[in-house]
Amino acid sequence: MERLQKIIAHSGYTSRRKAEDLIVAGKVTVNGVVMKELGTKVKRSDVIIVEGNILSLEEKVYYVLYKPEGYISSTDDEKGRKTVLDLVPRDKRVYPVGRLDYDTSGVLLLTNDGDFTNLMTSPKHHVEKEYRVKLKGFLRKEESTRICRGIRIENYKTKKARITDVVYNKENETTLATIIITEGKYHQVKLMFDAVNHPVLRLKRVRFGIITLDNMKTGEHRLLKPYELKQLKGLVE
């Protein structure tokens, strides 16, 4: 049991001082009852509503998943396909931070921390995402330069990107390359290479910010370490 104002402050909703003001002003309910008493003790399982907003008291959790191909990055699918939630513990209500396509593999973060998700996915911030791609045909230098300078995909011009480690496979006429982007538009990497007529045949995200796949196997997940979380947040502050 903890004091109501402390629980509100710990949830990140507001400071303890402001939480006290809100309680006294009758803006807080616990299990549907207005609580104006500052000393009230509550349990984490109580339903606390502040100014009409339900308070999330669940402990925050952050996973990195090596997403395999053949899973969708949403919480459920009307076609009944497997989702990334099938690969992580279900005791907390986590959801993916951004998305990877059904046929894309690689680093995917999942959390129940909405503020963290907003930080990581906001276009205002420029968290690097690194992908290894297999392309149809041979990607020429000038095509690579066009992509890196920013290329029109649908009605949008992409931000600067980097392409490195280009390797040609002469036998099956494909190119392997690494591309680093700082945005996350829908199908962005596929559309960027489509724009120079080299469709993506395979796509794997090998890095999100500072998080790589290290020694993970496909389908595996692990908790983010506190220092990794701190560094990820540090990238956008």
- DSSP helix/strand/coil, 205: strand
Are 47 and 54 in contact, with CB atoms under 8 Å apart?
Answer: yes
β strands within 112-232, DSSP E: 129-136, 152-153, 156-157, 162-169, 174-181, 200-208, 211-212, 221-223
Distance CA 30, CA 40 (A): 10
Nearer to ligand URA, 203 or 229 (CB): 203
Least distance in angstroms from the C-beta of 134 to ligand URA:
13
Nearer to ligand URA, 175 or 188 (CB): 188
Least distance in angstroms from the C-beta of 187 to ligand URA:
4
Tokens of 230: 């701190």
Nearer to ligand URA, 186 or 227 (CB): 186
How many other CB atoms are found less than 10 A from the CB of residue 196? 17
Least distance in angstroms from the C-beta of 40 to ligand URA:
47
How many other CB atoms are found less than 10 A from the CB of residue 73? 21
Nearer to ligand URA, 26 or 199 (CB): 199
Are 120 and 232 in contact, with CB atoms under 8 Å apart?
Answer: yes
Least distance in angstroms from the C-beta of 98 to ligand URA:
8
Residue 165 is among the residues annotated as catalytic for this protein: no
Distance CA 197, CA 34 (A): 62
Residue 194 per-residue DSSP state? H
Nearer to ligand URA, 4 or 100 (CB): 100
**Catalytic residue selected from 21, 91, 101, 115:** 101
Least distance in angstroms from the C-beta of 129 to ligand URA:
7
Q: Which residues bind ligand URA (CB under 6 A)?
A: 100-101, 104, 187-190, 203
Are 144 and 165 in contact, with CB atoms under 8 Å apart?
Answer: no
Distance CA 144, CA 161 (A): 10
Distance CA 143, CA 81 (A): 36
The residues assigned a catalytic role are 101
